[in-house]
Amino acid sequence: MNFSDVQAQLNDLPDTFKRQGAPYTQMIDALSGGLNTFTVGVDGVVAQVASFDQAQGGWLDLWGLLFLVPRDRNEGDAPYGVRIAETVLAWVATLPALQAWIDLFAPGGTAAENPPTWGYAITLPPTLALSGVIEFLENLGRIRPAGVPFTLQQAAGGLYLGTEAFIGLGMVQGSYLVEPTSAQALAIAATTNNARVLIPTTYMTDPSINGLV
């Protein structure tokens, strides 16, 4: 409700209960201004609860906890909102799904099959800090195929020129570009749990919080 709506409610009285001119109109203006502060705030809260696109701060955290997507350490509203939406709507359990997730949250990384064994090999870009690698793995649980093993590597530097000798055909040298990688230890379970609500039950049952009183 805006100022005009609030004042219209206050003035919705029989004429015998109202007075003409000041100080009555001044008192109604003051009451309308004070009440308008609360109604605008309530409208904002209702909008954030009703519409994910308008949620900010703690209300965005509420949306994330509904879908088992808690906020990462020091994560801002904009990237967190994108991550919630992409996690809920993302492809899952296929190689293209893994690559799409990497393209979004670890640009420059790759996902590929891991022959001769089965599973996947994920290579993350060298610009991703260790904390970012950990957060990437934690968020990968909803995307990767449950129980399918994968190896994790991180590029350790830029491309450099190497040479190769073809054994048995004489000394034929060829040039090729390679990128050094370092293996990363995995701390992730083999299972992928179903999404579950992380919000404390008091948010759903306490009448002083959910507005039933």
User: DSSP 3-state assignment of 198?
Assistant: coil
8, 1, 87: which is closest to 36 by C-alpha?
1
Question: What's the chain's average pLDDT?
Answer: 75
98, 99, 151, 156: which is closest to 127 by C-alpha?
156
Domain boundaries, the chain: 3-50, 58-183
Kindly report the three-state secondary structure assignment for every residue of 62-78: HHHHHCCCCCCCCCCHH
Q: Which residue has the tokens 């009555």?
A: 24
List pLDDT tens digits, range 64-82: 888 888 888 888 999 999 9
Q: The pTM is what? A: 0.54
List pLDDT tens digits, range 12-43: 778 777 778 788 888 878 887 877 777 766 66
User: Are the C-beta atoms of 124 and 151 separated by less than 8 Å?
Assistant: no
> Tokens for 152?
């994790």
129, 156, 117, 17: which is closest to 73 by C-alpha?
129
Amino acid at 168: G
List pLDDT tens digits, range 121-145: 888 888 888 888 888 888 888 888 8
Cα angle value 99/104/107 (rounded, 5°): 80
